[in-house]
């Protein structure tokens, strides 16, 4: 068994193509992320500085009472959440929005409105600001119509809101919007272990590779070969992910969380599901090696895209419209585990993510084992 273990280990690390996708490509991609936006507020402590959102305010020449109330609301937000720019006309505001020097335009009218140019975190915050104002305004109108005598009490309660709440820490941290790309990157790197798993499956199939033919006539039990291969691949890819995490945290200076034990556990589960995914892909269909690698690329990049690897807000959009996709997407589950560990400090949700990953790995291993066990050859 030690002989088989050693040779599988040497064979795997000498496969430069698969090791590139499983280790080097995520490191290169992380470096490009950092060069693009990694230094903009990302600090080694994991905390971030929230910049005020630059907006323009366009007013009517003869504003109504509702418009004046909304203008006063925006004035109070200026300097806290918003950074209202000195733009007086709508044409100047639209030009600044197209040039992305501002994130949105608030229209101070009888019915307040907002214009944004894209979907993103800042734009979502601006939408929430407008919705919050509209909800409060509707509430006050309802109180004024039904119980006008309680309107002063409602206004006093609103004015005293900040004094009746206290800020407490649950152990979480502030989130810089760019950190989510690195969470999605580690999740993608975990799934890239599928390249190692596919190669292992190919090496065990006599109808595809010469090595598979030799392994098929060996007296060693097939289950023993599978367990040895899986153990070696788990170990190799686990260290691949550890190297990537060390590079992100110590070289790029981006924190993935301070709980080392939880980080190691997520890395291990991510390595496991990546390798299991590759083994399952390699065993499902009798197609060529090139086709299996193509399927492997699809099943690593597409889940990464849905988890926010290319478009950071994608996972939030899916969570809003079809959350079940985030529950069955292993990259999204891994990314969510990093959020829970490094940002939210939500152990219940963190545990749920680990359970989902364990169930997925078990199902993939079962499919792979059943596929391998059914293989029979008329001649070798």
The tens digit of pLDDT for each residue in 295-320 reads 999 999 999 999 988 887 788 889 88
**Collapsed DSSP state (helix, strand, coil) of residue 259:** coil
Question: Over 50: is that where the pLDDT of 244 sits?
Answer: yes
Q: Which of 167, 145, 178 has the alpha carbon at shortest distance from 35?
A: 178
- Average model confidence (pLDDT) for the chain? 80
Question: Over 90: is that where the pLDDT of 356 sits?
Answer: yes
Quote the pLDDT of residue 35. Answer: 86
How are beta strands 113-115 and 104-108 bridged, if at all? antiparallel
Selected residue with higher pLDDT from 369 and 247:
247
> Could you tell me if 188 and 300 are in contact, meaning their C-beta atoms sit under 8 angstroms apart?
yes
**Collapsed DSSP state (helix, strand, coil) of residue 116:** coil
> Could you tell me if 215 and 11 are in contact, meaning their C-beta atoms sit under 8 angstroms apart?
no
The tens digit of pLDDT for each residue in 102-147 reads 989 999 888 888 998 887 778 888 888 888 888 877 776 777 677 7
Q: How many residues does the chain have?
A: 380
pTM, full prediction: 0.64
Structure-token match 């009517």, residue found = 60
Q: Which domains does the chain carry?
A: 2-44+175-373 (no CATH), 53-164 (3.40.190)
Which residues in 333-371 are b (16+ Cβ under 10 Å) and which e?
bbbbbbbbbbbbbbeeebebbbebbeebbeebbebbbeb
Quote the pLDDT of residue 161. Answer: 42
């Amino acid at each position: 068994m030690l002989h088989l273990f050693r040779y599988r280990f040497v064979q795997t690390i000498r496969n430069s193509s698969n090791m590139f996708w499983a280790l080097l490509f995520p490191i290169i991609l992380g470096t490009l992320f950092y060069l693009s936006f990694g230094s903009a507020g990302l600090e080694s402590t994991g905390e971030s500085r929230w910049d005020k959102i630059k907006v323009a305010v366009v007013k009517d020449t003869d504003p109504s009472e509702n418009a004046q109330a909304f203008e006063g609301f925006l004035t109070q937000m200026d300097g806290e959440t918003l950074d209202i720019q000195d733009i007086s006309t709508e044409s100047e505001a639209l030009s600044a929005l197209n040039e992305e020097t501002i994130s949105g335009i608030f229209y101070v009218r009888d019915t307040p409105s907002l214009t944004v140019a894209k979907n993103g975190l800042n734009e979502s915050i601006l939408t929430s600001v407008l919705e919050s104002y509209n909800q409060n305004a509707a509430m006050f109108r309802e109180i004024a119509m039904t119980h006008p005598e309680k309107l002063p009490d409602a206004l006093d309660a609103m004015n005293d809101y900040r004094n009746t709440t206290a800020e407490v820490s649950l152990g979480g941290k502030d989130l810089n919007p760019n950190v989510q790309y690195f969470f999605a990157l580690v999740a993608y790197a975990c799934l890239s272990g599928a390249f190692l798993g596919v190669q292992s499956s190919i090496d065990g199939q006599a109808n595809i590779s010469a090595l598979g033919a030799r392994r098929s006539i060996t007296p060693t039990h097939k289950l023993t070969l599978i367990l040895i291969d899986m153990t070696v691949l788990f170990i190799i890819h686990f260290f691949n992910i550890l190297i990537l995490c060390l590079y992100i945290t110590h070289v790029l200076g981006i924190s993935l969380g301070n709980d080392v034990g939880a980080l190691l556990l997520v890395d291990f589960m991510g390595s496991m599901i990546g390798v299991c995914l590759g083994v399952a892909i390699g065993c499902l269909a009798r197609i060529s090696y090139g086709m299996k690698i193509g399927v492997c690329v699809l099943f690593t990049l597409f889940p990464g895209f849905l988890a926010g690897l290319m478009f950071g807000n994608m996972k939030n959009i899916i969570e809003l419209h079809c959350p079940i996709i985030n529950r069955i997407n292993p990259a999204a589950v891994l990314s969510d585990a990093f959020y829970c560990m490094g940002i939210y400090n939500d152990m219940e949700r963190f545990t749920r993510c680990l359970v989902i990953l364990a169930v997925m790995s078990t199902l993939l291993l079962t499919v792979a084992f059943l596929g391998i066990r059914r293989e029979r050859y008329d001649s070798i």
